[in-house]
Structure 1
Amino acid sequence: MSTATPPVRHQMPPAARKARRRSAVLGVVTWIAGIAFCMPALWMLLTSFHSEADAATNPPSLAASLTLDGYRQFFNGGGGAEPWPPLINSLLASTLSTVLVLVLALPAAYALSIRRVPKWTDVMFFFLSTKMLPVVAGLLPIYLFAKNAGMLDNVWLLVILYTSMNLPIAVWMMQSFLADVPVSIIEAAQVDGARLPTVLARVVAPVVGPGIAATALICFIFSWNELLFARVLTGVVAQTAPVYLTGFVTSQGLFLAQLCAASVIVSLPVLAAGYAAQDKLVQGLSLGAVK
């Protein structure tokens, strides 16, 4: 009479158990850090659905009744002015400046990575050095220039400024992306008679498409969120969305619920752009990371 052999239980090695516990602890810490990082945005979203009386309580109440009054007042011009012109100005300045940055940065990055100009490292350092000057240090000269040129309160001035501000960052990012483009495919296109514009548009751009998308998204976010130049150089006609948000801080006090509702609306274009390009953003930021 045979007896069944009990199954052999393989015990996990101590090193594997230790690595598994470490991974679990790291996962918990990551979740806690992620939630803590998102808490201000979540709190702003919750406050936007409160009344002004509930939003001003200290400490704030999580069980306060929810209302859409903040959003109604935003769309009805509760901040003292219509919200649509600032939103359109921000969209126009951010989009046009981003397009100009890409048009200028792609040939520059091509010259610095594939067809490298002499002393290209010095050129890259020059681009980087332009970001070392504090923005406020150049505010007065730019203001005087805009005043003498009659360009104050003009959205086209913001387009020029945002283009010049984001161009060094775009060149640095795209130079690293283009450095990974195989030279053989460019040479093959040139053998077939393709000129430089054709090479850039039909050969280089499709290969580094994720990198271009990542660069465009970052430049768009920087332009959309810029406040200092827009606050000083614009008035009513070219007012942007961040400047419009400052109108909720008045001598009568801080309209917190309306401000949070307006902030949510102003953040939606950036969130939508980031969501639409999230796969390209991840590919672009990791392009060339693994050889």
Structure 2
Amino acid sequence: MVLSKRWTNNLWTILTYVLVLVMVVPVIWMVITGFKQEADAYATTPSLIFQPTLYQFQLAFNAGFIAYLFNSTVSALVSTALAMVLGVPAAYCMVFQMRKKSSNDMLFFVLSTRFMPFAAILVPLYVIVSRLNLLDNLFTLILVYTAMNLPLIIWMARSYFLDLPKEVLEGAWLDGCNTWRTIINIVVPMAAPGLVAAALLAIIFAWNDFFFAVTLTYTESPTLPIMVAVFSSNQDLFLAKISALATTIIIVPVILGMYAQRHLVRGLTGGALK
């Protein structure tokens, strides 16, 4: 029995490593391709031995990379900040100021806004934005990303708030703390790992978005994923150039993930066992 369980654990471990390799190897190959010349990137027989060059990265920066980077950074950070400002108090009210049934109904309503495919809301959203003369506007993209990430923020914050000791909150209420002081001085510091994880995921989702960006802000306020599409639309060889650009783009999510890995795991599992 013990031997069988050990073999089962070993098989699951091997399967995990295989899946990780399947997902990681293409990324590693993309990074390597970014340092190649186009002729080497399109070679019939791929090779790991080549003369590395930064020429492809230079092409990306000369193509207006800083402007695309500014749009992606502003839209991701500002939308995440707005989603946190709106989502954290909403999650607090669901946990501590609403009845359980009402809270569950409200949570279902909030999450139901993500059930519909983005393609289904694209046409009405485009019509509304065009009627308001807000196309190709970074402010529009920020609002869309805020609405897109708000259900995620509320869901994760609520699941983490459920694990907070109510005795501490009750002590704060007895000391005369109002709702905002309780949230800022007690709830946010105690739930920091979960909130960091929620903010991290919101930034990554906004950073990687192509669907809304290409529809609403393609010309005047394009983001980095749109830059990749522009590169791939050229008629010449572009595999190494796209690999270099994509390598540069994924640096931010990778650094955020490595920095907040512990918070991300705790935030995703917070409240899961309750």
Is the shorter-chain TM-score for this pair beyond 0.5, marking a shared fold? yes
**Match for 2:74: what amino acid?**
L
Q: Return 5+ residue gaps in structure 2 as ranges.
A: none
Q: What is the Cα deviation at residue 220 of structure 1?
A: 0.7
Deviation digits for residues 101-150 of structure 1 (CA, Å, limit 9, x no counterpart): 11111111111112225622221111121112111121122222222222
Give 1:10-89 correspondences, 5 Å limit.
15-77=1-63, 82-89=64-71
The alignment partner of 1:119 has SS state of helix
Deviation digits for residues 16-73 of structure 1 (CA, Å, limit 9, x no counterpart): 4444444444333322221122011111111111110111123433333322221122
Q: Distance in 1 between matches of 2:164 and 2:230?
A: 48
Q: What is the Cα deviation at residue 156 of structure 1?
A: 0.7
Quick one: structure 1 residues 138 and 255, their matched pair in 2 at CA, closer, same or farther if it must change by over 3 Å?
A: same
**Match for 1:173: what amino acid?**
M
Q: Distance in 2 between matches of 1:289 and 1:133?
A: 24
Cα RMSD between the aligned structures? 1.8
Q: Distance in 2 between matches of 1:19 and 1:122?
A: 42
Q: Distance in 2 between matches of 1:182 and 1:190?
A: 13
Q: Return 5+ residue gaps in structure 1 as ranges.
A: 1-14
* 1:130 is the counterpart of 2:113: yes
The one of 136, 143, 158 aligned to 1:153: 136
Greater shift after overlay, 138-147 or 94-103? 138-147
The alignment partner of 2:250 has SS state of helix
**Match for 2:68: what amino acid?**
P
Match of 1:140? 123
Q: Distance in 1 between matches of 2:94 and 2:128?
A: 31
Q: Distance in 2 between matches of 1:50 and 1:232?
A: 32
Greater shift after overlay, 16-25 or 113-122? 16-25
Q: What is the Cα deviation at residue 250 of structure 1?
A: 2.3
Q: Distance in 1 between matches of 2:111 and 2:270?
A: 21
Deviation digits for residues 139-196 of structure 1 (CA, Å, limit 9, x no counterpart): 1222222222221111111110000011112111111111111222111111111111
Quick one: structure 1 residues 198 and 254, their matched pair in 2 at CA, closer, same or farther if it must change by over 3 Å?
A: farther
**Match for 1:94: what amino acid?**
A
Q: How many residue pairs end up in the alignment?
A: 273
The one of 210, 217, 222 aligned to 1:239: 222
**Match for 1:233: what amino acid?**
L
**Match for 2:29: what amino acid?**
W
Contact 2:38/2:237 (CA < 8 Å) preserved in 1?
no
Contact 2:91/2:158 (CA < 8 Å) preserved in 1?
yes
* 1:207 is the counterpart of 2:193: no
Which structure: larger Rg? 1
**Match for 2:41: what amino acid?**
A
Contact 1:248/1:254 (CA < 8 Å) preserved in 2?
no
Match of 2:85? 103
Q: What is the Cα deviation at residue 274 of structure 1?
A: 1.3
Greater shift after overlay, 246-255 or 93-102? 246-255
Q: Give the structure-1-normalised TM-score.
A: 0.88
* 1:274 is the counterpart of 2:257: yes
The one of 172, 176, 179 aligned to 2:159: 176
Contact 2:218/2:226 (CA < 8 Å) preserved in 1?
no
Quick one: structure 1 residues 25 and 134, their matched pair in 2 at CA, closer, same or farther if it must change by over 3 Å?
A: closer
* 1:261 is the counterpart of 2:247: no
Q: Give the structure-2-normalised TM-score.
A: 0.93
Q: What is the Cα deviation at residue 289 of structure 1?
A: 4.2
